[in-house]
């Protein structure tokens, strides 16, 4: 557990609960008084800044800290997750969603699926699903339909490859950080970002897909400026390799 310190008269610069990156300024200090900082926070001049990826947290008493990035996923109902088929059964599949236990995906949990006509998934296939049931004493249950029974982007993900990141960084990715927009100026690619920290990446060519994957991996734990710098370097290397190959 992080140590907590009471901070009075806080001028919070980023909403509590938001994902923060290293270097993000989160609190402006009061003009007088002694201020102690909690885990993941460091003083920089007259402000406090995050020194790690996480979410900004605060208690009613005014204690503030940055909660650390989690690798293990705790299922939440209606979350979008990306998973890998690990077992096949007559009426369902076991899916690795980076949780403590495998999730169950019904063989008919697809739009329009019937016993005669349904997707035939193999071990190793990647799927984008919605968490339908998440209970403390039960294994998670998934579906490839929204609440109205439509596919809505859920289902098997063809080609591409998986990148695993922390759950908080996955939340940041889903919001579309600047480095992804920079990638999009030169590359055509697709991402399926799961709240469970599993990210499916696909692009027009395997080389481009690798570049996107490297940018995603490099963005975790980096400041926004560092992520942009890495992305621009990857794009420059891609341009150089295309010139050499032409």
Give, in words, the CATH class of 11-68.
mainly beta
Mean pLDDT, residues 146-168 taken together: 93
**pLDDT score of 36:** 58
CA 42 → CA 12, 52, 78, 174, distances in Å?
Answer: 14, 10, 35, 27
CATH fold of the domain at 161-245: Ribosomal Protein S8; Chain: A, domain 1 (3.30.1370)
Residues 156, 126: Cα–Cα separation, whole Å = 6
Instruction: Evaluate if residue 166 carries a pLDDT over 50.
Output: yes
Q: 87-99 pLDDT, tens per residue?
A: 999 999 999 999 9
As a whole-number percent, the residues of the chain with pLDDT over 70 amount to 89
CATH, domain range 80-157: 2.40.50.140
Q: Where in the chain is the domain with CATH 2.40.50.100?
A: 11-68
**pLDDT score of 34:** 54
Q: 76-128 pLDDT, tens per residue?
A: 899 999 999 999 999 999 999 999 899 999 999 999 989 888 899 999 999 99
Instruction: Evaluate if residue 8 carries a pLDDT over 50.
Output: no
**pLDDT score of 60:** 62
Give the pLDDT band (50/70/90) at residue 22.
confident
Q: Where in the chain is the domain with CATH 3.30.1370.10?
A: 161-245
Mean of per-residue pLDDT scores for the chain: 87
Mean pLDDT, residues 42-50 taken together: 85
Mean pLDDT, residues 198-218 taken together: 95
Residue 175 CB-density burial (10 A; 0-12 exposed, 13-18 middle, 19+ buried): exposed
């Amino acid at each position: 557990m992080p140590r907590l310190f009471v901070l009075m008269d806080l001028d919070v610069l980023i909403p509590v609960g938001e994902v923060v990156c290293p270097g993000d300024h989160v609190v402006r200090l009061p003009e007088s008084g002694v201020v102690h900082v909690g885990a993941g926070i460091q003083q920089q001049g007259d402000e406090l800044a995050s020194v790690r990826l996480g979410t900004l947290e605060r208690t009613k008493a005014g204690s503030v800290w940055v909660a650390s990035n989690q690798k293990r996923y705790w299922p939440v109902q209606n979350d979008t997750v990306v998973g890998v088929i690990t077992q096949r059964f007559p009426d369902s599949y076991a899916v690795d969603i980076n949780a403590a236990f495998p999730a169950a995906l019904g063989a008919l949990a697809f739009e329009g699926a019937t016993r005669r006509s349904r997707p035939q998934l193999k071990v190793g296939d990647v799927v984008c699903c919605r968490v339908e049931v998440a209970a403390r004493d039960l294994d998670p249950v998934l579906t490839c339909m929204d609440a109205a029974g439509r596919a809505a982007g859920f289902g098997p993900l063809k080609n591409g490859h998986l990148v695993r990141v922390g759950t908080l960084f996955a939340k940041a990715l889903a919001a579309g950080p600047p480095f992804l927009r920079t990638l999009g100026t030169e590359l055509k690619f697709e991402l399926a970002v799961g709240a469970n920290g599993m990210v499916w990446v696909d692009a027009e060519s395997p080389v481009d897909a690798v570049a996107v994957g490297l940018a995603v991996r490099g963005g975790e734990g980096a400041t926004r400026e560092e992520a942009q710098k890495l992305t621009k370097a990857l794009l420059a290397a891609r341009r150089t390799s295309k010139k050499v190959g032409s």
